[in-house]
Amino acid sequence: MHQRRSTILFVILVILPLALLAWLGTYLIRDAEKRTDASMQAILAERLSAADHHLLHDMRQLTDRLDAWGAQSVGSARLMSQWLATHPWIAHTWSQTGQPVTIESFEGRMEYQPGQGFNAEEQIKVINEATRKPDSMPQFASALDDGGPPFQRIYAPGAATSAWQRTSQWMTYLKMHGYHIDDRPVQSEVPLSWSGGHVGDSMFIYWHRFADGSLSCALMNPQALMNSLFQRLPQPGLAIPPGRMMLTTVKGIPLHEWGKKLAGSKTPPSAHRACSEPLSQWEMAYSPANEEFPKPYLFPIILGVSSGIVLVFVVGWLYFHESAGEFRLAQQRVTFVNQISHELKTPLTNIRLYAEMAAHRAESQGDSIAKRQLGVVEAETARLDRLIQNVLN
């Protein structure tokens, strides 16, 4: 019975508090990890967003400069293609003019061979299909009226041609008005022109369409373009990140890395982000360094839980130590009672027995005095036996 009670007390006083403390510690650690991870993801998302915005802004600046570079063409697609061919990053230019359509090609200053899979006429046809009727396309109207992001993807309405299907990995983008604060609304009496980019796998074609329907296109050297973009990473004016920022293609081909690359940044990336259009074929990722997001929450939680566990062990040990002392005292009392009972009651029993025997003998002999005296001995013996029993109880 005593062992069963000790087991129950041990479970209540030690096992149950330890289980509760272990659960509490696990819950607090997981909750702190979730909060820290949420904060880390928010910070990294903002950092990746800033880098993406910087790349997008540079692409918009490049388009604006190409527009300005060809401004000397005075509304002629052919002259603009000739001017663009003198740009240090341009590999080839084309102009599409007249009815019937004629395409002229000009060699640029930067040599580049796009490969056998590239067909310039097909790409020019795709761009022409996507931009041939700007006044009837909703995305053009919103671009001119409401402004918006630097670029917006456009599609050729009803262009189910084989050329479009074969070049579906290419995407055409329109440069939006209203992106810069100093953009001015286009006057209706001035002939309109539009520009943007036609982007493929690691290739970029700048296009400019005039109000008369003529089209000027320029194929850029991707190495020169990427080098110019990567040289401005990290963003000017911002501190170099302590971790490792990576820029890859959607197929996982590494393009560029930057950052201090401190300890811990060689681990797999903790945050990913697809680049905004027209660089949607690129992805950014970031691996933080160990010093960026330490885990200070572990120490107080572990310290508090450990202190609770130690306190439970101390309280349990003190209780069972005191219980063991009381149990030993109780055993000593039981032993004492047994010894006293044996040492005192045995002589009294003998005295009482012999007194009764002597009283019977005196009665048989007619000795009334001896009988009376032995009766007193018997009564006092019984009284002494009751007193001893009371004391032991």
Residue 153 buriedness (CB in 10 A; 0-12 / 13-18 / 19+) = middle
Please name which of 221, 217, 212, 214 lies closest in space to residue 82, comparing C-alpha atoms.
217
What is the C-alpha separation between 391 and 285, in angstroms, rounded?
87
> Considering all CA atoms of the chain, what is the largest pairwise distance in Å, rounded to the nearest integer?
167
Question: Comparing 73-77, 78-82, 279-283, which segment has the lowest mean pLDDT?
Answer: 73-77
Pairwise CA distance, residues 250 & 272, whole Å = 11
Q: Starting at the edge strand that comes first in sequence, how are the strands of the sheet with 271-274 ordered?
A: 254-258, 244-249, 282-287, 271-274
Tens of pLDDT along 335-347?
A: 877 777 777 777 8
Task: Please list the residues that pair with 274 across neighbouring strands.
Answer: 283
219: three-class secondary structure by DSSP: strand
pLDDT at 66 over 50: yes
Q: Which residues contact 27 (CB under 8 A, 6 or more apart)?
A: none
- Beta strand segments in 250-345, E: 254-258, 271-274, 282-287
Residue 254 vs residue 301, higher pLDDT: 254
Calculate helix-pair angle for 298-365, 368-392, nearest 10 degrees: 180
Which of 99, 62, 363 minimizes the C-alpha distance to 226? Answer: 62
Cα angle, residue 326 at apex, residues 320 and 332 outer, rounded to 5° = 140
pLDDT at 144 over 70: no
Q: Which of 163-167, 224-228, 337-341 has the lowest mean pLDDT?
A: 163-167
Lowest mean pLDDT among 6-15, 152-161, 203-212, 307-316: 152-161
Q: Classify each residue of 107-138 as buried b or exposed e, where b means 16 or more C-beta atoms within 10 Å of its C-beta.
A: ebebebebeeeeeeebbbbbbbbbbeebeebe
Per-residue pLDDT of 94-114, as tens digits, reads 999 887 778 899 999 888 888
- pLDDT exceeds 60 at position 7: yes
Burial label for 356, CB within 10 Å (0-12, 13-18, 19+), is: middle
Assess whether pLDDT exceeds 80 at residue 264.
yes
Q: Which tens digit of pLDDT belongs to each residue from 203-215?
A: 899 999 888 888 9
- Give the domain ranges of the chain: 59-229, 303-392
Residue 269: DSSP 8-state = P
Lowest mean pLDDT segment, chosen from 14-18, 263-267, 345-349: 14-18
Identify the band that residue 147 occupies on the pLDDT scale cut at 50, 70 and 90: low
Our separate counts of H helices and E strands in the chain read 9, 11
Between CA 175 and CA 208 the distance in angstroms is 10
